[in-house]
Chains A and B, each alone.
Chain A
């Protein structure tokens, strides 16, 4: 998993509340267990017409936001199904950070396991960052996980809370397998010992 330390990038404004996982990645794309390749179908139904043409009004289709790495979104982002494809699709598009007033629980946790930082800030901060994001590619936000801050293009800084263990994992690029592999030598020692003590097992 890719580490997350600091990120300075274009933020796309998505002021909708309750952006659900069906919007993020519709079900017809769930027939894969590969984590890559889903980015082109991120927000598929909002982004493309039925015959596959881009809908120009959708934020990620606009020239300024095609390389967005941050989303600033309305309340309750990621509600709906537990599909892990939702963070996979965001990541594959290039989104490394989503900022909202609140997140659905499963989506929130899935982000940390895929190298995405979900940032929870109060409504006033979201309003400020949303206005900033509307300025397009000239307005870059900086997200610093170490210092737990988001800095707007005008220099205004907002501090956010993050669980210490989740922060550790994200800053070191550790998903659950990565965490386990950190103990690889202890596991090998145990396995070798177990093989001697219980050769029948």
Chain B
């Protein structure tokens, strides 16, 4: 592939947090056991005035603050999410207007469970490679929903990251991307339903592990690489355990995984998860670092990326927007009652 890759990036994580133990206490469960079992200590919660559109806009603006590109040169915006504020009316147009990229712009909202954001990255890579656009903006963001009392309630959280994709002056080259896709109903949300349903343990071996492993193996075969050739590895992270287990199975070490592993402290940001992991890695990456990323979206599929950080990362004005680690630490704890209000669990007529 030509020198196509990431020009800049930005992230956004809402400030509110709820601890796993706080949720567990409401349902009469042992929070310590659940927290240890899932590998999640706490998760981020969106405020009443935050949703996928606000997280997407803030991520995009953070990316633009760090580089010198004219927003009018952005030719495409793709926002991947399973919690778009509208069922019909794009989030991407809100982003486009809010960053000054309209009107000569291609826009679409994507949905592919937790991998819609990385699907957007692939689309942008394609358009840039075809010289149809100068820059593309791909965002993965979610304010994910979980039914009260469901196992997902411990993990479903809020956050997102945006990546500006372009050619030449890239801070990280996307050497190759490929996907592994099958029809696997492990997790879904039917039309007009508020909360998703899932296949319990079926979400593990035939879904998450199969798709990530196959995508990872195919990508390493294509690139003729081995796990030890990479400095960092990022895997989709529905909880704190799955990404560590899949990494171990594939031959990656915890050392390679930990910088991109955020679920233990912010929960599963769904479409934002792998992308926030990549943002966290780029926050500390040095020229020459080799990054391996595999996202996963239920339904099901995985997108794999082989990325090399370039010298240009030193020119990125990283200080113009908060680092992922800073946003993780900038937190305010809330109790379950406040959580119920913020996540619209309370109904009244």
Whether both chains belong to one complex is answered with no
Q: A interface vs B, CB < 8 Å? A: none
Q: B interface vs A, CB < 8 Å? A: none
